[in-house]
């Protein structure tokens, strides 16, 4: 059985695009929200698994990061602002690796990104990844940089992860 997770971030006032995304992917197991637009989710008829971003700091109930087991894979969700993902992924990768994550999901940059880092990848602080790691950013539904509003899909089947991007 394949589990399908829809990943989105950086809504910034575009609840209409969230509604469209939900409408397109009613078959999703879960929606994963990576921050910046928690208020835009109020009143919608679904509840995503969510972390807060730098524009959501008003929320005391929503965590800044979550560590999930999805289909046997360890997934770390964060917005990314606290680990300066706009300046590179090394700090966030080291953080996720130290926690045993198989994948890091982040937002904040408003740019879609998918990268695989094999075990032993050297990081700027001189450390190396102890295990392979996926890093995935769905881009932005509300304020995309250099393109159309984007989101991500994660499909997990038989312990294998497949990431992809979609646009509205």
β pairing state of 30-33 and 3-8: parallel
- Name 76's bridge partners: 67, 104
Q: What percent of the chain has pLDDT over 70?
A: 99
Q: What are the pLDDT tens digits along the chain (168 aa)?
A: 789 999 999 999 999 999 999 999 999 999 999 999 999 998 888 889 999 999 997 767 899 999 999 989 999 999 999 999 999 999 999 999 999 999 999 999 999 999 999 999 999 989 899 889 999 999 999 999 978 999 999 999 998 999 999 999
16 within 8 A of 141, measured Cβ to Cβ: no
Question: Who contacts 119 (Cβ-Cβ below 8 Å, separation ≥6)?
Answer: 129, 130, 131, 132
Q: Does domain 3-167 sit in CATH 3.60.21.10?
A: yes
pTM of the shown model: 0.95
Q: Where are the domains of the chain?
A: 3-167
- 23-64 pLDDT per residue, tens: 999 999 999 999 999 999 988 888 899 999 999 977 678 999
């Amino acid at each position: 059985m394949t589990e399908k997770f829809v990943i989105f971030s950086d809504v910034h006032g575009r609840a209409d695009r969230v509604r469209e995304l939900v409408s397109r992917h009613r078959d999703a197991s879960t929606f994963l929200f990576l921050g910046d637009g928690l208020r835009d989710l109020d009143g919608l008829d679904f509840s995503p698994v969510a972390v807060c971003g730098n524009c959501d700091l008003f929320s005391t109930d929503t965590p800044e990061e979550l560590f999930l087991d999805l289909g046997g894979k360890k997934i770390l969700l964060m917005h990314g602002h606290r680990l300066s993902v706009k300046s590179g992924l090394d700090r966030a990768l080291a953080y996720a690796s130290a926690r045993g994550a198989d994948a890091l999901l982040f937002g904040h940059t408003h740019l879609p990104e998918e990268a695989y880092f094999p075990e032993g990848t050297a990081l700027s602080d001189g450390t190396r990844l102890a295990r392979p790691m996926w890093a995935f950013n769905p881009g932005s539904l509300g304020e995309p940089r250099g393109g159309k509003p984007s989101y991500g899909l994660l499909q997990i089947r038989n312990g294998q992860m497949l990431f992809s991007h979609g646009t509205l």
